[in-house]
Structure 1
Amino acid sequence: MNTRRAFLQNVTRSAIGIPLLSLQSAPIISSLTSCAEVADGPVLRVAIMGLGSYGARVAEAMKDCKRAKLVGLISGTPSKVTEWQQKWNIPAANCYNYENFDNIKNNPNIDAVYIITPNALHHPQTLRVAKAGKHVICEKPMAINAKEGQEMVDACKAAGVKLLIGYRLHFEPNTVEIIRMRKEGELGKLLYFQGQSGFRIGNPNQWRLDPKLAGGGAMMDIGIYSINAARYMTGEEPIWVTAQEVKTDPQKFKPGVDETITFQLGFPSGIIGSCLSTYNMNNLDRFFINGEKGFADLQPASGYGPIKGRTHKGELALPHPMHQTLQMDGMAELIFEGKQPIVPVDGAEGVKDMKVIDAIFAAVKSGGKVPIKIA
């Protein structure tokens, strides 16, 4: 709705006027320390910012977490907050709106905020959460360009809090197994990567097709999966890219919103990557890596599950828990114990993907080969 879009475009301003949802007067339970304790260790107490469909998926997944728990809500829609409060038994003292959520700095019962809002809001909201002294989990893409991403990293470092990016696939068993095979040389010298990421997008009025909120189109939303997979499946950072954009529906995909981009990545060892990102085709969700000794194929590769994989050794028959359950438990272990996943999920990892996206857009514009400087 236009009214919602107008609101979203203004939520990053300083708090002014009467808040949409006031903090309740109920006292915060002072007996709790900075984190709750269970048999497996401290529990990461998380407030979700942005109560849309993906936020709901994360909340559902956290029901099965051993190390993470949903304890707070941040939204610009009071009716959603009320609904979620009842469903998840969230105290009123842990509920905020986009204007007053800076007050979480005074709430010792929230350890981290998971930002699940439109892309363009990630940067200002991360800065505010960091300033409030809370750890940040930010959905990908972390920002609309690498410059903003680096500013987020710097702000969290200065505030002494963690910045983690919602790379759920870094914890997914089939993905992790293929990375292990690559690391242990079971695929031999790598030669080629292919990534296909796409679907036909629906409602033309949604924020994902608004360049001011999305920072782009399909590349930001779905193409980033192929970019990230190209990096973790090869174990290398790309050094150049060429890219071509095709737009068949300029009415739906307005200037600044990419519909379909094909791009080619070059890696230091000579590996070539061939990828497709689109908002106009279904049945595109595949990562394939080929080496001199074998191959690995994921299809579907990035959907919510189950991920299905096979290699030159046969089918991968690994369990399929909710990705976000593994992600949130893994992030809690990272924050509390420093346990790192097989592929990083920190802000620096997010900046690397943003540098590749910046280069892809530059290559589309120039029509030539664009160097990528990750370091």
Structure 2
Amino acid sequence: MGSRRNFIEKLTVSAVGLPILYHSSNLFAAAEAPYEGPILKVAIMGLGSYGTRVAEAMKDCKRAKLVGVISGTPSKIKDWQSKYGIPKKNCYNYENFDAIKDNPDIDAVYIITPNGLHKDQAIRVAKAGKHVISEKPMAINAEEGQAMVDACKAAKVKLLIGYRMHFEPKTVEVIKMRKNGEFGKVKFFQGQSGFTIGNPNQWRLDKKLAGGGAMMDIGIYSINGARYMLGEDPVWVTAQETKTDPVKFKEGVDETIQFQLGFPSGAVANCLSTYNMSHLDRFFMTGSDGWVEMKPSTGYGPIKGRTHKGELDQPHITHQTLQMDGMAQLIFDGVQPIVPVDGEEGLKDMKIIDAIYKAAKTGDKITIDL
């Protein structure tokens, strides 16, 4: 798995710049000494804009290191080799990446490709004996998500989902407050997730590649946020779809969906997912004894928030740095984040998305069984 001693250059990073990790016994603890434990050696599959963001964030990781790439674009592979010092033997394309099975330099593959490709790619990575990290949503429906979970279990590898917010300091603080009862009995959550999407020819507006529209991209933040903010899983959903541009948003590609979730405690959530309104990145939750508002709530940062007790002042650290170090800690040491990031967590969100689409199509109140 390697050692921090193999990456001496990392030791020059000042203590101020070191990532802060989540620990079960100490919520955010900065390392006081250079880390010398195992390093998670990661190959990124899909070298687009988000893949680049993850690669840049991993420069500051202590427990994870970018060591390989998988891409269908030879020029991108060449650029990444030069920029990140990736050896040729750790470079693959979409046809030959099964050969990672025989490459001990790669422990895990982070799949950052269009949603419709995740299932088959994840199964191939699992069969190659490598841990799978899949960007969210994990697939285009619950059936595909279940196939990914089953394949990783059969191969005895981890399946983790790119839920970066589960490691974000202000988000973790709010979850901790709710667990400690500081909001009293939580009653209501509101999630607003949306932006105005540009290029109509991009894969996010292709039903086959995306699996849908805004819900499969930005809407999942309000779904997952409702669950970790309230600390419950929903048992029913109602939903309404609005489409103003059927040319840009073709059949099966949602433009705007409003949805309502009901929870066992009686709490309700009212959420909005859209590709046709900007400046929508806000969570609000209220309980019998307090409230919290986060705006921006899920953007790349800094996250901002306030509660009935005042402003949240936890430090901003690049989310993907925290995520990758946290996932390495999970794989090597079994240390779980405050909210799970495993395949089962991702599968729950896929089941909810399936139910939202069904509710929007039928107009019915749909029961959710997770």
Q: Same fold (TM over 0.5)?
A: yes
Query: Which residue of the other structure, out of 120, 124, 128, is the alignment partner of 2:120?
Result: 124
1:271-295 superposed Cα distances (whole Å, 9 cap, x missing partner): 0100000000001001111000000
Residue in structure 2 matched with residue 78 of structure 1 by the alignment: 74
Displacement of 1:212 after TM fit? Answer: 0.5
Distance in 1, matches of 2:170 and 2:285, equals 14
Distance in 2, matches of 1:304 and 1:64, equals 16
SS in 2 for 1:283: strand
Residue in structure 2 matched with residue 339 of structure 1 by the alignment: 335
Which amino acid is 1:67 matched to? R
Residue in structure 2 matched with residue 192 of structure 1 by the alignment: 188
Distance in 1, matches of 2:137 and 2:193, equals 15
Distance in 1, matches of 2:96 and 2:218, equals 31
Displacement of 1:37 after TM fit? Answer: 4.6
Displacement of 1:36 after TM fit? Answer: 3.5
Do structure 1's residue 139 and structure 2's residue 139 form an aligned pair? no
Distance in 1, matches of 2:122 and 2:109, equals 9
Displacement of 1:154 after TM fit? Answer: 0.8
Residue in structure 1 matched with residue 86 of structure 2 by the alignment: 90
Displacement of 1:318 after TM fit? Answer: 1.1
1:311-337 superposed Cα distances (whole Å, 9 cap, x missing partner): 000011111010000000000000000
Query: Which residue of the other structure, out of 34, 43, 47, is the alignment partner of 1:47?
Result: 43
Figure out how many residues of one structure are paired with residues of the other and give that number.
341
1:8-47 counterparts in 2 under 5 A? 34-38=1-5, 39-47=35-43
Which amino acid is 1:217 matched to? G
SS in 1 for 2:315: coil
1:134-189 superposed Cα distances (whole Å, 9 cap, x missing partner): 00000000000111111101100110100000000000000000000000000000
Displacement of 1:126 after TM fit? Answer: 0.2
Contact 2:3–2:36 (8 Å) recurs in 1? no
Query: Which residue of the other structure, out of 55, 60, 77, is the alignment partner of 1:59?
Result: 55
Residue segments in structure 2 that go unaligned for 5+ positions in a row: 6-34
RMSD after superposition = 0.7
Contact 1:47–1:72 (8 Å) recurs in 2? yes
Do structure 1's residue 360 and structure 2's residue 332 form an aligned pair? no
**TM-score, normalised with respect to structure 2:** 0.91
Residue in structure 2 matched with residue 3 of structure 1 by the alignment: none
Residue in structure 2 matched with residue 206 of structure 1 by the alignment: 202
Identity of aligned residues (%): 75
Query: Which residue of the other structure, out of 103, 113, 120, is the alignment partner of 2:99?
Result: 103
1:212-257 superposed Cα distances (whole Å, 9 cap, x missing partner): 0000000000000000000000001100000000000000000010
Residue in structure 2 matched with residue 325 of structure 1 by the alignment: 321
Contact 1:36–1:45 (8 Å) recurs in 2? no
Displacement of 1:40 after TM fit? Answer: 3.8
Residue in structure 1 matched with residue 164 of structure 2 by the alignment: 168
Deviation above 2 Å: which 4+ runs of structure 1?
Answer: 34-40
Do structure 1's residue 183 and structure 2's residue 183 form an aligned pair? no
Which amino acid is 1:131 matched to? K
**TM-score, normalised with respect to structure 1:** 0.90
